[in-house]
Chain A
């Protein structure tokens, strides 16, 4: 349960640096908020009588993060997560907008189910944009009604959890989605090459006796889809890139002018297949945790822009489901609450890039991929802000989780960079903001 408070009265965020999406720079800005609405933003705002002041010196203020890949499990799997608990987890991680995936029960493949998400999210502190199924019942055969569903609020189409395995179906999906100008989001794992694999195929899988998922299961499907997209046009988005070679393929395709975007998860930027050695089922995820070389290449690809956005693939599963043997435990891990600390640790603490680049890939790029609203710092509109301490070192613990589930591989990990407070839709979350 996340403790939020209603934003009432006047609030001044004073002394911090703001991330400015238009210029991509960090500059000194104060923010005045009244009853949850952003009233003013400039270099310096003097405190008037009756204004609560938050001391933001040494802190950074940014528009809220957007996560274009979460599983909020509603409808059908409310024991894992609900829209409410998912929104709490998002807010705790600094995310004010998310795209939820359609692998629910029933799947989001009808106008009614898409409308259900859009309506339910209005009462929540986080904006939730549903991705609809690409095919009916996510069976990979017949297309859903892209026109109807886009009008109802679907921001893209995907069979996520499963790939669109059939090349002919992928061609039709990319072609037909041009009618609504929405992206097709591909979970790229060739089922026949993946077979019964449970972890990255490597010397670790061999030493553990676990069947492997070879890197080629991702690479060949991405190559196929890039060529199809190049041939028929349409917008292709590759979800959770995990292999170095996949990043190379996408880089080359972008150079040729293919309309492709892609994302990487914090866990694929931080963990390797070595993490599976303890048989901790929270390390079981699709695509699997790969080699050190892949992690290094993904970090570079995120910095050079080949990988557009960071997305968590937040995938909650109940304790009893994860407390099974490795073959039976469902794949996936929760990632919203730990995302910023993990990414900062992986990229900024190791001097690979700057805070500004990380914020671009958490704030701007994801909204561009999915055409989400991106009018930042709009005066007169409800404040959508996150307050960050990029330097704070902290240890991630169970108590930091607001999701209904707890399947994180990061407990006990030293992270760097922490969300201190979030303001969105008239509510405030406070993780230790300093009063003046």
Chain B
């Protein structure tokens, strides 16, 4: 059986194409498991996984928990609100306690870039980054890649635009790294105050003109706008943002080619995307959600199960 070249999944910046292909291939076979009447397999029986969520998350945590349960792993949950972190315990002490309980794998969500990397320096367990602030969120990017591949059969050669608040997004960088590795042509579009400086050094094209961009694209990935960005005076108003960068029905109808629309959720309907667009045939948003579970099952299996666990194909 094939194996990943990495011990952890901390980000996609340095993950080679062969690893991404293996993760997606394995994820598609787990998709079949998810379509069965009995969706649970014994692959990770006896393995213990901790979901370490230092900041609130609903969808990502549910998706990981579901993937863990479908693979029969034992899981425990740790979220910052209910933990001693609020009492001033250091990140390292929390981690050492978790380590002392002999976990096999840690899923970590943290508000700060580098937190997953730092964790991997301190513990023996395998680490999966479930989002470290505005740095990486590799499982989201992988499920996005899977959803594109499901729709088109391939990723290479496609033109994919990421639209909206790139600078404050937890998913933009991983998407850029993953899409570039898989051979897509990547664009980012939004107001200049939402675009990190020097981002074109990642080998992508930056534009501020959505209407000129859309006719050229195969896929757009629409990012969530956070209300608090307005308070930082990065944009004058949500109304103006919607006028310039909102994915409205007027913008996506009458395009010369079919446009596939993705969104990492949760949606701000009526701000960055209109309801009828989000719910239209162009949208693969709900496929993303299902593929998220499959991709996470694939990763848990590849990083943990490896040779000793029962394979996905004979599960």
The chain A residues found within 8 Å of chain B, CB to CB, are: 201-203, 205-212, 214, 278-279, 320, 323-328
Contact = CB atoms under 8 A, between A and B. Distances in A.
Contacts of B134: 209-211
B198 A208 contact: no
B90 A206 contact: no
B112 A203 contact: no
29 contacts: A201-B197, A202-B198, A205-B196, A206-B197, A206-B198, A206-B202, A207-B13, A207-B173, A207-B202, A208-B114, A209-B134, A209-B135, A209-B136, A209-B173, A210-B113, A210-B134, A210-B135, A214-B197, A279-B113, A279-B114, A279-B117, A320-B90, A323-B90, A325-B110, A325-B114, A325-B115, A325-B118, A326-B114, A327-B111
Contact of A209 (B92, B133, B197, B201): B133
Contacts of B13: 207
Nearest to B201: A203
A328 B110 CA distance: 13
A329 to B, nearest CB: 10
B8 to A, nearest CB: 14
B12 to A, nearest CB: 11
Contacts of B197: 201, 206, 212, 214
Contacts of A209: 113, 132-136, 173
B196 A328 contact: no
A201 B199 CA distance: 11
A395 to B, nearest CB: 21
A208 B202 contact: no
A208 B112 contact: no
Nearest to B134: A209
A323 to B, nearest CB: 5
Contacts of B110: 325
**Residue in A203, A206, A209, A328 with the greatest tally of chain B CB atoms within 10 Å:** A209
A204 to B, nearest CB: 8
Nearest to B117: A279
A291 to B, nearest CB: 11
Contacts of B113: 208-210, 279, 326
Contacts of B114: 208, 210, 279, 325-326
Given A206-B198, A206-B199, 20 more contacts: A201-B198, A206-B202, A207-B13, A207-B202, A208-B113, A209-B113, A209-B135, A209-B136, A210-B113, A211-B134, A212-B196, A214-B197, A279-B117, A279-B118, A320-B90, A324-B90, A325-B91, A325-B114, A325-B115, A326-B113
From B110, B118, B136, residue with most partner A Cβ within 10 Å: B118
Contacts of A325: 91, 110, 112, 114-115, 118
Nearest to B232: A195
A40 B118 CA distance: 55
Given A203-B201, A207-B173, A209-B132, A326 B90 contact: no
Interface string B132-173: 111110000000000000000000000000000000000001
Contact of A328 (B112, B133, B136): B112
A160 B66 CA distance: 52
Contacts of A214: 197
Contacts of A212: 196-197
A323 B114 CA distance: 12
B92 A323 contact: yes
Interface in B99-120: 110-115, 117-118
A96 B34 CA distance: 71
Contacts of A326: 112-114
A203 B132 contact: no
A386 to B, nearest CB: 37
Contacts of A208: 113-114, 135
A327 B132 CA distance: 12
A324 B90 CA distance: 7
A365 to B, nearest CB: 35
Interface string B186-209: 000000000011110110000000
B231 to A, nearest CB: 13
A212 B167 CA distance: 11
Nearest to A195: B232
A325 B116 CA distance: 10
Given A324-B90, A328-B112, A206 B201 contact: yes
B199 to A, nearest CB: 5
Contacts of A320: 90, 92
A325 B112 CA distance: 7
A325 B90 CA distance: 9
A328 B118 CA distance: 13
A42 to B, nearest CB: 56
Contacts of B111: 327
B136 to A, nearest CB: 7
A173 B53 CA distance: 49
A1 B63 CA distance: 52
A328 B13 CA distance: 24
Nearest to B132: A209
A323 B117 contact: no
Contacts of A202: 198
Nearest to A320: B90
B129 to A, nearest CB: 11
A214 B133 CA distance: 20
